Amino acid sequence: MKKILISALSIIFVSLTISAQDSGNTQDSFKPSGKPIVTVFSDFSHTSTNGNTNNAFELSRAYFGYGYNFSPDFSGKVVFDVANSAAAGTVSPGVSAFTVFLKNAYAEYSHGIVKANLGLVGTTMFGLQESVWGKRYLYKSFQDQYGFGNSADLGASVKLQFIPELSLDLAVFNGEGYKKVQADSTFQFAAGLTVQPIKNLFVRAYYDYTDKQSYLPSSTKKAQTSFNLFAGYKSDKGSIGAEFNTQSGNKNTKDHNLSGISIYGTLPVAKQFSAIARFDNLTSKNNWNTSTDGQVYIAGIEYAPVKGIQITPNFRYSDLKTGNSTTSFNLNVGMNF
């Protein structure tokens, strides 16, 4: 499979130079332009775990960047991720609570059926699921939340939109994510197929493979493979999505297998108001991942007073394999422009 993906990507990238010659007429009327990118997530939470309560205000994340269109076919984007390290309990007294990462820095070519990205790019694992869920400011999509993969990584990706209803994406990534960039000779290979059988309905299958070198003894090493099936519907009348995920050899460790489902939806109930709900269930082989194995339930009301602002009071309940149950009432705010 690795040889097939490498060969396919090589052929596609070589063809980009030839197809770029077809856009000469459009170039004459095009004016280069760009715009800033700003996204901020903040929240207040009242959390109770086994009788212990905690109240907290947090600025959980902020993204700052800039996107620029050089021509009708070529564009670029740079985005910095400002993460709240204090929320993870990793900050010492006198040290800043925020850590800055370079999340995206890539060039994009888009012409005809081909869209290609090269650099520190967004991965292809859960982009569609995240767009249907649409509530990252409140809770990450399933694969991101539970460590199945990274949202961005060094590498290259190509999407072929054969017809509006059918696309194929291929990618080669470093496999480390954007927070731990490491140069080595092993990569992550990914392929996804997306079908749109009817308007607003999407069905997708995804697979990736990586066999990273690691410090683990050879007897406990294993290639990591991920598989995902997703179906989702999204329109101005609401959205609903369901996905099944499985991963063998998490972080290239033998018998560290994960599987789970996620079901979520949004239903407009009044002007500027929508009801949201989600259910996650994660399990691991031989219960090696008890810290996050279990069920999570989320329900709330999203209020969008103006474009780019979401304010969502919500309730969450998690029942983990550790025996701990957590109940929380949250007020999450998302802002982007």
Most confident of 43-52, 81-90, 208-217, 271-280: 271-280
Pairing of strands 166-173, 114-122: unpaired
DSSP secondary structure letter of residue 95: S
Q: Which two tokens stand for residue 319?
A: 């029942």
Q: List Cα–Cα distances, 98 to 60, 84, 85, 101, 334, in angstroms.
A: 9, 5, 5, 10, 18
pTM > 0.85: yes or no: yes
Residue at 25 is within a domain: no
Residue at 27 is within a domain: no
What pLDDT does residue 182 have?
A: 67
Q: Which residue range(s) make up the domain with 314?
A: 2-18+36-336
Residue at 103 is within a domain: yes
CA distance 304 to 271: 9
Q: Is the pLDDT of residue 14 over 60?
A: no
Longest CA pairwise span in the chain (Å): 68
Place 28 in a pLDDT band, splitting at 50, 70 and 90. Answer: low
Q: Which two tokens stand for residue 22?
A: 């077809």
Between residues 98 and 26, the one the model is more confident about: 98
The answer to whether 326 and 291 are in contact (CB under 8 A) is no
Q: Is the pLDDT of residue 56 over 60?
A: yes
What pLDDT does residue 18 have?
A: 47
Give the CA dihedral 177, 179, 180, 185, nearest 10 degrees. Answer: 30
How confident is the model over 190-198, as a mean pLDDT?
Answer: 97
Q: Concatenate the DSSP letters of all residues of 148-213 into one string.
A: S--SEEEEEEEEEEEETTEEEEEEEE-SS-SSS----S--EEEEEEEE-SSTTEEEEEEEEEE---
The answer to whether 220 and 254 are in contact (CB under 8 A) is yes
Q: Is the pLDDT of residue 233 over 90?
A: yes
Number of domains in the chain: 1
The answer to whether 109 and 116 are in contact (CB under 8 A) is yes
Q: Is the pLDDT of residue 201 over 50?
A: yes
- How far does the chain reach from its first CA to its final CA, in angstroms? 40
Residue at 23 is within a domain: no
Between residues 87 and 291, the one the model is more confident about: 291
Which residue in the block uniquely carries the two structure tokens 């609401």? Answer: 238
Of all helices (H) and strands (E), which one includes residue 20? helix 2-20
Q: Is the pLDDT of residue 11 over 50?
A: no
Residue at 121 is within a domain: yes
What pLDDT does residue 2 have?
A: 52
Residue at 29 is within a domain: no
Most confident of 130-139, 205-214, 319-328: 130-139
How confident is the model over 187-200, as a mean pLDDT?
Answer: 96
How confident is the model over 189-201, as a mean pLDDT?
Answer: 97
| Window from 85-99, 109-123, 295-309 with minimum mean pLDDT | 85-99
| Window from 51-55, 148-152, 197-201, 258-262 with minimum mean pLDDT | 51-55
Q: Is the pLDDT of residue 22 over 60?
A: no
Place 221 in a pLDDT band, splitting at 50, 70 and 90. Answer: confident
CA distance 74 to 212: 33
CA distance 169 to 71: 23
Domain CATH number, residue 277: 2.40.160.10
Most confident of 3-12, 36-45, 179-188: 36-45
How confident is the model over 142-163, as a mean pLDDT?
Answer: 96
Between residues 214 and 193, the one the model is more confident about: 193
Q: Concatenate the DSSP letters of all residues of 226-244 into one string.
A: EEEEEEEEEETTEEEEEEE
The answer to whether 244 and 229 are in contact (CB under 8 A) is yes
Place 88 in a pLDDT band, splitting at 50, 70 and 90. Answer: low
How confident is the model over 85-101, as a mean pLDDT?
Answer: 66
